[in-house]
Structure 1
Amino acid sequence: MPIETITKAGRRRYRWTFERVIEDRRVRKAKLLPAGISAKQADELGRKWDAETYALHTGVTKSVVTIGDCVLAHVTDKSATWKDGRKRILILEKWGPEFATQDANDLHAWSIRFVGYLRASVDHHGRPKRPLSDAAIRNVLAYIRAAIKHAHKIGRLDVDQTARMVIPPVNNERHHYPQRKEMLEIARACKHREVRAAIRIAFYSGMRRGEILRAKVTQLGYSLDDTKNGRPRIVPVHPRVAVLARRVRFTLTVKQFEEAWKRARNAAGYPDTKFHDLRHGAASEMINAGIDLFTVGGVLGHKSVVSTKRYSHLVTDRLADAVGRIGQKRKEPQNPV
């Protein structure tokens, strides 16, 4: 049988094997099938790969490199260096049946169908499924695009066709900028001590949630050995959270954190505020206090000024207020009687 059942990482998976003598040559091939497919789908895929392999080695057809081949090569070669490796692999496995057999040189029409399916609220069998936001869809396609580019780089593909992929645009230029009043109301509504501390620290440091949970407190400030941009950095401790920095140690899981945060923001009357918005609030406070964008980017840990430019409209708003004051009569201080 070309399809056999194996156990990988505690999960049942199917593996396709091909072993035949074709024109006096022994041909051996094996491939792990995408996770989540049924036995019937595995048999159909196995027969298809059998036919393609036989045709290839008899000179009937040219080899087709699939997106699944590209993803497998990328995971094998590069996953050890990915910071988000586990998350990325789980996402690729989840959507693997949608791209495993797709020709990596025919991406335009496939990407349109794939995006439509990710946005849909039902699966191929009419069962309800959770539609993905355009931002989440972009992440999935970014993982796939990176795999195809890697396959081209190592010579598996003659041409990089990723420019033909249709990827939904996402406008992340403007954000919600919570002010101190909103931050304090959410913090006061929070019943979890560690999350309550993290809310204040995020607003007074601009650190991300993950950075807050793993930062080490030193004499110089919050020390981050590993950040999103790959560079270590020190974030000074604001006097208003100095006591929290010394006393609070974070032990909760990300799931516990998210649950406590959502309860707090809902109780405070801000159901749409995200924890990451507190980082934007910190940037807004610094800019409104007259800090230049370069320095703000340094505090936030931006590797490129492009990331900091998303706050440029705040500078423009502040300059417009300054220009509006031109010509206004200055109020002279009154002498005390």
Structure 2
Amino acid sequence: MPAVHLTAQLLRDPLPAGKVKVRLFDAAVTGVVAERRVSGVTFYFRFRDQRGRQKELRIGKLGTITLDQARRKARELSAQVSLGADPVAEKAALRAILTVAVYIDDHYLPDARQRLRSHQNLNAYAARIKRRLGNKALDEVTWADVSAFKAWLVTQGLAPGTVNRHLATLRALYNRALRSGIYTGPNPASAPGMLPEHHREQFLTLEQDKRVIDALKNDQNPSAATALGLLMVTGARKSEVTKAEWRHVDFDRAELLVPRSKNGRPRRIPLAPAAIGLLRLQRRRCREDEQFVFPGTVAGRPIEDLRRIWARTKEAARLPPDLRIHDLRHSMASRLANAGTPLNEIGAILGHRGLATTQKYAHFQPQRLTETAAIASTAWLLEAAA
């Protein structure tokens, strides 16, 4: 169709009889197309990309923009095309960028659930991220958005460590999106400004250990008491004991297999003689065909929780009220460290992937530190004052 000089009057003229749509090509600015319909006029920019393919990009509707504005926009787009740009492809690419919520639900969480055995906390972190940032496209989230998200988490009363886990999750999901090619921009959570954490240094003393053992011997639930005792002497994670199956206990090799640990990999927990003794005692309590080492009240399911026996044990052993079951694992690491066990061996026993994690658990008893300091004094030929 030949080009015509578009005017405001021409665009207002009624459509020819029997026509529902008429397309007019502007003679004043190459590429401007006015599509006239009964419902109104829409402007488009027509061009050829670098491969010679003809494409069109919608500019806007008459009334929202004027003819002159459509021409100015077309000139800008024409200049971009001359420099190698493809505005249609760029617009399609923007539309294809997922929102944070869609990416989390369709990509990040499914992948994490395959890799990680325990992902309940991750689900909670993802839910809060979606609540505050979910409607934004991945490329729309800025450092300021991440900073505001962090401030909001603090107002929710979350501990600094929990806030940091949310920020680490946000950073990780962007890193995954970058590796997979789903997203190609900067990571807005690469340096979110983690909050300072004050790690608890709670562990049982030897005297407390003895009181706990006495309390477990006299508890009303021998099976649950044995599970708690196994946590004490192995340093295992709670779920690794409560969900343990007899087919994974190797008495000959003195080890308990965890098919899928917290980091998603199998690991073997070494069993000291005390642990072997507890397991043999528990084996005698169980039916021959029992699947789980510590069966629960529901048939075919393991014991669900140890909170009740832990509460009874803390009271009977006169332990601090805020001591957690997880602190038994902490205590195991501390005992090993005080016995001179290298950190890499402690990490192997506890199933850590890096020494940094082990260092958080391994605390030295004050008496051992005093003895270590005395060794240094002796080396310098220093003697205690008379």
Compute the TM-score of the two structures, normalised by the length of structure 1.
Answer: 0.65
Deviations along 1:119-176, one digit per CA (max 9) or x if unpaired, are: 335xxxxxxxxx322222222333222222222222223222222434323243x621
Deviations along 1:75-128, one digit per CA (max 9) or x if unpaired, are: 35554333234553354236522221135443322223323333335xxxxxxx
Equivalent residue number for residue 267 of structure 2: 232
Deviations along 1:214-250, one digit per CA (max 9) or x if unpaired, are: 34432222312332342422412233x4332112231
> 1:202·1:279 contact (CA, 8 Å) conserved in 2?
yes
- Which residue of the other structure, out of 294, 313, 319, is the alignment partner of 1:264? 313
Aligned equivalents of 1:191, 1:328: Cα separation in 2: 54
Aligned equivalents of 1:133, 1:95: Cα separation in 2: 16
Aligned equivalents of 1:161, 1:91: Cα separation in 2: 17
SS of 2:239 mapped into structure 1: helix
Task: Go from structure 1 to structure 2 and tell me whether the alpha carbon gap of 1:62 and 1:263 turns closer, same or farther (over 3 Å shift).
Answer: same
CA deviation after TM superposition for structure 1 residue 271, in Å? 0.7
- Which residue of the other structure, out of 264, 269, 281, is the alignment partner of 1:247? 281
SS of 2:323 mapped into structure 1: coil
Equivalent residue number for residue 217 of structure 1: 249
Aligned residue type for 1:107: T
> 2:171·2:189 contact (CA, 8 Å) conserved in 1?
yes
Within a 5 Å distance, the mapping from 1:114-193 to structure 2 comes to 114-121=149-156, 131-155=157-181, 156-172=183-199, 175-187=201-213, 188=215, 191-193=220-222
Aligned equivalents of 1:247, 1:89: Cα separation in 2: 38
- Which residue of the other structure, out of 283, 295, 299, is the alignment partner of 2:333? 283
Return the structure number with greater relative CO, CA threshold 8 A, min gap 6: 1
SS of 1:256 mapped into structure 2: coil
Equivalent residue number for residue 274 of structure 1: 324
> 2:233·2:332 contact (CA, 8 Å) conserved in 1?
yes
Aligned equivalents of 1:238, 1:97: Cα separation in 2: 50
> 2:347·2:355 contact (CA, 8 Å) conserved in 1?
yes
> 1:297·1:308 contact (CA, 8 Å) conserved in 2?
yes
Within a 5 Å distance, the mapping from 1:77-116 to structure 2 comes to 77=111, 79-85=113-119, 88-89=122-123, 91-93=125-127, 96-105=130-139, 106-116=141-151
Gaps of 5+ in 1: 1-21, 26-55, 122-130, 330-337
> 1:283·1:311 contact (CA, 8 Å) conserved in 2?
yes
Equivalent residue number for residue 236 of structure 2: 207
Does residue 66 of structure 1 match 2:115?
no
Larger Rg computed on CA atoms: 2
Equivalent residue number for residue 36 of structure 2: none
> Mean alpha-carbon deviation: is it higher for 60-69 or for 95-104?
60-69
Aligned residue type for 2:227: A
Task: Go from structure 1 to structure 2 and tell me whether the alpha carbon gap of 1:95 and 1:312 turns closer, same or farther (over 3 Å shift).
Answer: closer
SS of 2:256 mapped into structure 1: strand
Two-structure CA RMSD over aligned residues (Å)? 3.7
Does residue 195 of structure 1 match 2:217?
no
> 1:67·1:100 contact (CA, 8 Å) conserved in 2?
yes
Deviations along 1:243-298, one digit per CA (max 9) or x if unpaired, are: 32112231246753224323432454321111111112122222322333333222
CA deviation after TM superposition for structure 1 residue 321, in Å? 1.2
> 1:119·1:133 contact (CA, 8 Å) conserved in 2?
yes
Could you tell me the percent identity over the aligned residues?
20
Compute the TM-score of the two structures, normalised by the length of structure 2.
Answer: 0.58
SS of 1:83 mapped into structure 2: coil
Aligned equivalents of 1:300, 1:60: Cα separation in 2: 50
